[in-house]
Structure 1
Amino acid sequence: MGIGSVNDVPKATSSYGQRRDDEVSQLRRESEELRRESTELRHELTSTRSAFTAPVVGLEGFLDVVAATNPDWEIFLRNMRQQNPIPGESTSDDTHAEEDVARKSDEFYRAIHD
């Protein structure tokens, strides 16, 4: 070990620093890519949820009309809604059930005739 080994130290340190900078840059690029993908997936999920919810709301309106004329269906639908709530739709209690049925019936009929 002579003077040559002392000269190798800064060279090794410089190489390590460059590798570390490269790794940090790569991690930043990967992080940014993951952030972009996450944003795209959120938009896709929102779009899919909207595409799913629209037909379900129409079907819900139709079922409300049927339930309004058939007590057995009314009980069946109430139980199904309690067990399987639709995401993003508020559940109504019995005090608002008739108003809810009337509103959904109107929405359903308007959707069919528009």
Structure 2
Amino acid sequence: MIYRRHQADKPEARKKRLLRLYALAIRAAEEHRCDDLVHCLDILRAGLNPIAGLDLALSLHELYGDIERAARSGQYAEAAHSLESLKGLWDARARLDHALIAPHRGE
């Protein structure tokens, strides 16, 4: 995964935490709480793992910077929309991972 692993973390727990962090960031944007949004973005940036995928990590880092700039300039709706799009991608990835793993659990 493009985000760093914590010891003893299960993939499902990491994905759940990531999606929750996105939800918190979206709520902060919707409520125009710039400091909280920036804090969430800082956590997302700090968790990126360039070894797992350098291009994706760099792209996400750049996107988080764009979202932060949008929020700081008062464009909270745009920030929230971008975060919702990113969250949707990670949510889709989690569902696909689950669908691909689930059939093999009974073997």
Q: Answer yes or no: same fold by TM over 0.5.
A: no
- In terms of fraction of residues, the more helix-rich structure is 1
TM-score, L = length of structure 2: 0.38
Larger Rg: 1
Higher relative contact order (CA 8 A, sep 6+): 2
